[in-house]
Amino acid sequence: MDKIKIVGGNRLQGSVILSGSKNAALPILVSSLLTAEECTYERVPNLQDIEFILRVLGELGAEIDGELDDGTVKVKCEEIDQVEAPYDLVRKMRASVLVLGPLLARFGEAKVSLPGGCAIGARPINFHLEGLKALGAQIELQEGYVIAKCKRLKGNRVTFPFPSVGATEHLMMAASLAQGETVLENCAREPEIVNLGETLNKMGVKLEGAGEETIRIQGRDSLNGGRFRIMADRIEAGTYLTAGFITQGKVKVEGLEPIHLEAVLKVFEKAGARISRGKESIELEAQGLARGTPITTEPFPGFPTDMQAQFMALMCVAQGESEITETIFENRFMHVSELTRLGADVSTKGNVAVVRGVHTLNGAPLMATDLRASASLIVAGLVAKGETVVSRVYHLDRGYERLEEKLSALGANIERLKETT
Ligand code: EPU
């Protein structure tokens, strides 16, 4: 397995062109199952998770054309010859579970493995299943599989117990082919939901309210294909800005609407950075060391859980103390023990971590545990004295496109050590 080696200490400076958003691209690619027509997607990031969802679609019978290298992919789901996503596919990437609703809505049946837990939490899909039931699906759980059937899904009112990103996306897609109107309440409001809403509207659905608490969807009998664009990755943006801040540098990210990252930008400002917001760019200029600043993760528009680990790395070398509260996932502090190996002073109690800033981190061999935890170790490695080697880099490859190339261009001393055996 590849490793990433960083020699810390370089101040980062320059600009990064952002890739397409992983978490927007995943449901949007799945939405191609809703139509027999060809869908062309632009700014698709070249990531393991994206290759994987395309493989899932391919196994169901989709025709896939185009190279991830140039960001444009065509998907045509005209001849879907099976409606089953087996355990081996779903356990590797839980977003595959999103094929359930579109398959059910279009073909009247689907069989999809339950994903199981993952490194950051139990992550059940009960809100997804309850929502599909409200649209008339008959759902049974058998030997680890969800078996869903329906004649035709019927629009209904669904109130989510919590604004789940995945459940909101899943129901938006299923309701697009349901008969009549569906009203989704207490929806997630993340920008990725807006990007999916735009896509579904272009496919012929009448969908209002994506990005708000209530989404109204008038289902259609059939949908059309078309050309769709994936939004820029706001978490990738936040990660590079954090890298700029921790190295006391000046980093600009390009291609993103600053409003998508506003909660993080406000916290950066509180912590002492100067932020310039352009139309589709953000520049961060450090004004010395960061100041200890508390955060609590929340659904959008609050501080994103997907930035918590990277922000913690920044706080490890900040002046003073900061309290970091994780409210979205029950086990998302896996990076703490690895940061501690670099000399960080972090203690956790339940879902709260207290970080006391230290003068210096010292490089060490580290083990990545999940995507954002890995990103936090990279960010910390950029200021740690000497050499930090992060192993299990496949976690990073799931969600960051050409990470070492982009950081090198900003001035980091970073390289990928290829597995030779
Ligand atoms: N939840 C339930 N039941 C459900 C659905 C969710 O209890 O049916 C709980 C989860 O266990 C969790 C909370 O609700 O505690 C929020 O989960 P949500 O459904 O919003 O998360 P998700 O859709 O599974 C997406 C992103 C995650 C990101 C979260 C929160 C994708 C593919 N994944 O996950 O991204 O952390 O929203 O913003 O969009 C990442 O990119 O590293 C990542 C983990």
Ranges of residues in the chain whose predicted pLDDT is under 50 = none
Q: In this structure, are 248 and 202 located in the same domain? A: no
pLDDT number for residue 421: 52
pLDDT number for residue 122: 74
Q: In this structure, are 118 and 161 located in the same domain? A: yes
Please calculate the CA angle 130-223-67 and round it to the nearest 5 degrees: 95
Q: In this structure, are 200 and 244 located in the same domain? A: no
Q: How confident is the model over 136-178, as pLDDT tens digits?
A: 999 999 998 999 999 999 999 999 999 999 999 999 999 999 9
Is residue 118 annotated as part of the catalytic site, yes or no? yes
What is the length of the chain?
421
pLDDT number for residue 117: 67
Last residue of a domain, one of 229, 244, 276: 229
Q: Is the dihedral of CA 97, 99, 102, 106 positive or negative?
A: negative
Q: How confident is the model over 231-278, as pLDDT tens digits?
A: 999 999 999 999 999 999 999 999 999 999 999 999 999 999 999 999
d(CA 128, CA 184): 12
pLDDT number for residue 58: 95
Domain that holds residue 70: 22-229
Prior bond of 115 cis (ω within 30°)? no
- On whether the pTM is more than 0.75, the answer is yes
Q: How many domains does the chain have?
A: 2
Ligand 1 site: residues with CB under 6 angstroms?
23, 26, 95, 121-128, 162, 164-167, 188, 304-306, 328-329, 371-372, 399
Nearest CA to ligand 1 atom 7: 124
Residue 107 is part of a domain; what is its CATH number? 3.65.10.10
Q: Is the dihedral of CA 266, 255, 376, 30 positive or negative?
A: positive
pLDDT number for residue 369: 87
Pocket probe mutation, ligand 1, options 23, 132, 235, max atoms within 8 Å of Cβ: 23
Q: In this structure, are 207 and 247 located in the same domain? A: no
